[in-house]
Amino acid sequence: MPKVLVSEFAVAGKLVKRTYAIYGGLVPPFTMEHLGERYIMPGWYKLSKDEDMPNIEDIAYYPYKPKKEPLPNIDSNKVYKVKSSKGDKEYLVQMDSSGSMVCECPGYQFRRSCRHIKTVLQP
């Protein structure tokens, strides 16, 4: 279920701007009127009488992200050992709890991707 969060910015105690953020949901934000009330959708956020109808551009949108597809040729419990390019070291590559591949080499720590992971992912 999508959620609408409101942030308020005040200057010297006077409200200057409200921004809205929608988390989840599969459709981008829109506003609508229903039975005399105004809503931000998705999420059914009801605007109170003193709230202006926001511009769509002022509503941040963080869509629902489906879980990653499982990697076809990867055993999620296995630790893969991959030789470094010089061949003098071995790095351990494995799947973390979110389903992403992680490596212990310095390149991965820096770039979140490396040759060792690519080697493991190769069919």
Which residues in this chain contact Zn ion in the complex, by CB under 5 A?
Answer: 91, 103, 105, 108, 114, 116
User: How are beta strands 59-62 and 90-95 bridged, if at all?
Assistant: unpaired
Q: How far is the CB of 96 from Zn ion (least distance, A)?
A: 14
**CB of 97 vs Zn ion, minimal distance in Å:** 19
Phi, psi (deg, nearest 5) at residue 120: -65, -40
Report the relative pairing of strands 59-62 and 14-23 from DSSP bridges: parallel
Q: How far is the CB of 93 from Zn ion (least distance, A)?
A: 6
Q: Which is nearer to Zn ion, 46 or 81 (CB)?
A: 81
The smaller minimum CB distance to Zn ion, of residues 13 and 87, is found at 87
**Which residue number, 3 or 81, has a Cβ lying nearer to Zn ion?**
81
